[in-house]
Copies of this chain bind each other. A is one copy, B any other.
Amino acid sequence: MTHVPVVDVLQGRFAVGETVTVKGWVRTRRDSKAGLSFIAVHDGSCFDPVQVIALNSLENYADIQRLTAGCSVSVTATVKASEGKGQALELDAERVEIVGWVENPDTYPMAAKRHSIEYLREHAHLRPRTNVIGAVTRIRNCLSQAIHRFFHENGYVWISTPIMTASDTEGAGEMFRVSTLDMLNLPMTDKGEVDYSQDFFGKETYLTVSGQLNVETYCAAMSKVYTFGPTFRAENSNTSRHLAEFWMIEPEVAFASLDDVAGLAEDMLKYVCKAVLEERADDMAFFAQRIDKDAINRLEKLVSSDFVHMDYTDAIDILKASGKSFEFPVEWGVDLSSEHERYLAEEHVGGPIVMKNYPKDIKAFYMRINDDEKTVAAMDILAPGIGEIIGGSQREERLDVFDRRLEEMGLSQEDYSWYRDLRRYGTVPHSGFGLGFERLVAYVTGMQNVRDVIPFPRTPGNAQY
């Protein structure tokens, strides 16, 4: 390809006087009485479009004057120092080729005006053409790249855990069934149940809710591993924090304690936020200006301050002593609700908190029992503005304690036989956590709803495109 990205022009990779070709879409066109037009051309490579100056001496100037938002163009032009304010460089067009018109500019769904975020959601296939979703997309990419880079630089191995699974796992949430059975002609057993032995996998099969148990098997061989893939919850929640399909990052570390992975989580969050500040200053300036004025400040603060560690038991005392009247009363043993988490992170600490050692009865069966026999080595990271962003734990590596816990929970050893094998053969202490990727993107950008930080959100009633 012989054209260059807009970002290379704006960042001065070409000298004034050089000829370049850029290709992209018109954001705006403005005609001057002096016999020339200013065309803002964007191509997604950075936040700003490049300003193209087209003189009326161009042979297709009549066509150029019909350009509207969304038209695609190929512009060959000379780089020049800008006389206006804003950008340092702009383009003097030698040739403006119109590649694709907009069918009917008056009804073009992404016409150049402000659209509500809900309207954009209903046009998910066109919304990346807007400033806001374009910026979200670049930040999302920046975060994803930084996450892979962080783990790779630190010796972690990416593991793809299965998406479809027949494994019986404890209910981290409602699950989607996957099947190829003919729904109008279901095979049945003598007992009047659906005969899943005739299904594709010969068993009832679901979409995964977490890769953790699977990735532990690779942790018990490769030591430092992580997943980065989609996970699923068939919960009928219509909130700004829930999706039926979302991406999760789950590192798992052999010979690591709870504090080790709390440190890992802190290092990772700082690394990826730093990457965004350094690499996407243009998009962050937009979020700070238009979405959340605290957006940049919040990231800078996260990068430069140490996370406060707090025991669940101490947090309960703090909440009780706060004098606040909460909707849900606080008592040792209850799960913290959003109002409690936000009070602690936003008012009491004013920054991210690593909350540790929760009562065992409100946590999962695989978490390691502490010596007090009442709490488990679990941690959540609570961030101002969004609440829980990371949840992790040390895993129970002692076979006898694990088996006792299975029994308490009414779970069968047989269903967990392969998971138990990791405790039978060279067991090691190990810990890990899960980070919901969309919550991270929402936290970083200040976007209020996770549906706006994933290209095609899946929620109850919505699986279009």
A180 surroundings in chain B (CB, below 8 A): 174, 176-177, 234
Contact of A102 with B by CB under 8 A: yes
Contact of A293 with B by CB under 8 A: no
A159 surroundings in chain B (CB, below 8 A): 137, 141, 455
Set B1, B129, B165, B201: member contacting A461, Cβ < 8 A: B201
Set B71, B157, B166, B234: member contacting A138, Cβ < 8 A: B157
Interface size on A, residues (CB 8 A): 110
CB of A11 to closest CB in B, whole Å: 12
Give the complex CA separation of A429 and B3 in angstroms. 14
Interface string of A129-166 (1 = CB under 8 A from B): 10000100110110011001100100101111111111
Set B201, B422, B427: member contacting A125, Cβ < 8 A: B422
Give the complex CA separation of A5 and B155 in angstroms. 9
Set B26, B194, B200, B463: member contacting A166, Cβ < 8 A: B463
Interface string of A101-138 (1 = CB under 8 A from B): 11100001110000000000000111011000010011
CB pair B160–A454 under 8 Å, yes or no, is yes
A-B contact pairs, 20 of them (CB 8 A): A23-B223, A23-B255, A26-B426, A99-B255, A100-B425, A103-B424, A103-B425, A110-B425, A124-B217, A141-B159, A159-B455, A160-B247, A161-B455, A162-B456, A163-B232, A180-B234, A183-B194, A184-B193, A201-B461, A201-B463
Other than the known A128-B218, A144-B148, what 19 A-B pairs have Cβ atoms closer than 8 Å? A7-B155, A102-B425, A102-B426, A137-B218, A137-B221, A137-B222, A138-B157, A163-B232, A165-B456, A167-B464, A177-B179, A177-B180, A180-B234, A183-B183, A183-B186, A200-B460, A201-B462, A214-B455, A229-B229
